[in-house]
């Protein structure tokens, strides 16, 4: 059942879903962010006449996503969610950083109504364009009574912000949710949900984010690998980095030279967290490491989590994610 009278606000940010190529058979040589959100909606006949409002927030390839765009997006989402006539929000987004935007919005908004990110693996000009169906399905989710939290809708599958990750560079079904599995599926205009909606609370409210995104604490990711050294860690510390997430091997192990450099950084006041390079699973702590675990968060989401924790409570930034 859907609320036919409630408004869905669609916020455009660009991405492949808004991309265009010179040939309909070209699925990789396109230019992202060429069509506005109004054009994307016009390409979905089933949405004609629906109570939808559209707003263009940005027009970029999501590989170039910035903190400033995140800030604007969070504020506009908060604005629209404060309107009682709005059932939910859909954000058209590129796939490259979709999982990062989703987690950022969950941890700054923790919305009681749905925010659904819709994306595509093929440009709007493709013979097999997947954007229109994904957009239609996302609107379905945004209008589903009881829906809440930040999710992502691609290839008929609904993923929670905490779990979604891009797992393939090309195929249409390019996203997964790791061990957790998808939150649900949309089948012929109806959401079939498998588990509970996202419920992670906010760390820093959208209105409390520093207005100058350039002033947000710098947090970077380094990777442990064969032959790793600590040179990059020293360079990051010299540049004023306040937090480092190490994408560790296996169950959180770190090359000895990199580990020494990270320990020195931590002693100097830099917050250091461990995540794992492994696509699925989480680090199971053995209790003998100096670097807190990011739990089930991927390195990219752990970077966002640590950045927000540094903004919210600097004294607690060394604490590992407890959930």
For every residue of 94-144, DSSP letters joined together read: -STTHHHHHHHHHHHH--SSEEEEE--SS-TTSTT--HHHHHHHHHHHHTS
Measure the CA–CA gap between 66 and 62, rounded to whole angstroms. 9
DSSP 8-state code for residue 270: -
What are the φ and ψ backbone dihedral angles of 151, each rounded to 5 degrees? -135, 175
Measure the CA–CA gap between 12 and 36, rounded to whole angstroms. 7
Strand partners, 273: 245
CA distances to 139, 144, 320 from 8, in Å = 7, 11, 36
Task: Estimate to the nearest angstrom the gap between the alpha carbon of 277 and the chain centroid.
Answer: 18
The helix-helix angle for 299-312 and 98-109 (nearest 10°) equals 30
Measure the CA–CA gap between 1 and 130, rounded to whole angstroms. 25
* Residue positions annotated with a catalytic role: 16
CA distances to 9, 28, 55 from 78, in Å = 12, 35, 14
Q: What burial letters (b/e) apply to 276-293, b meaning 16+ CB within 10 Å?
A: bebeeebbeeeeeeebbb
Contact 265, 298 (CB under 8 A): no
């Amino acid at each position: 059942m859907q609320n036919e009278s409630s408004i869905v606000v669609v916020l455009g940010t660009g991405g492949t879903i808004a991309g265009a190529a010179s040939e309909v058979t070209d699925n990789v040589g396109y230019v992202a962010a060429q069509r506005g959100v109004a054009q994307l909606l016009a390409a979905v006949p089933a949405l004609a006449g629906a109570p939808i409002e559209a707003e263009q927030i940005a027009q970029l390839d999501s590989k170039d996503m910035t903190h400033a765009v995140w800030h604007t997006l969070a504020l506009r989402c908060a604005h629209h969610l404060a309107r009682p006539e709005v059932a939910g929000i859909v954000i058209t987004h590129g796939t490259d950083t979709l999982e990062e935007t989703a987690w950022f919005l969950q941890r700054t908004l923790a919305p009681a109504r749905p925010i659904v990110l819709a994306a595509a693996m093929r440009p709007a000009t493709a013979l097999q364009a997947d954007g229109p169906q994904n957009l239609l399905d996302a609107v379905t989710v945004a209008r589903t009574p009881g829906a809440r939290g930040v999710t992502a809708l691609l290839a008929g599958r609904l993923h929670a912000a905490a779990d979604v990750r891009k797992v393939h560079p090309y195929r249409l079904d390019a996203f997964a949710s790791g061990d957790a599995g998808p939150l649900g599926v949309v089948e012929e205009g109806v959401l079939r949900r498998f588990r509970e909606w996202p419920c992670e609370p906010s760390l820093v409210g959208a209105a409390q984010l520093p207005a100058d995104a350039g002033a947000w604490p710098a947090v970077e990711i380094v990777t442990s690998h064969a032959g790793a050294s600590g040179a990059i860690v020293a360079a990051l510390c010299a540049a004023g980095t306040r937090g480092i997430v190490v994408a560790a091997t296996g169950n959180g192990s770190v090359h000895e030279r990199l580990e020494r450099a990270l320990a020195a950084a931590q002693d100097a006041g830099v917050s250091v967290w461990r995540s794992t390079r492994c696509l699925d699973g989480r680090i199971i702590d053995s209790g003998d490491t100096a670097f807190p675990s990011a739990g089930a968060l991927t390195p990219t989401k752990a970077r966002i989590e640590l950045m927000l924790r540094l903004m919210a409570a600097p004294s607690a930034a060394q604490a590992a994610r407890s959930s």
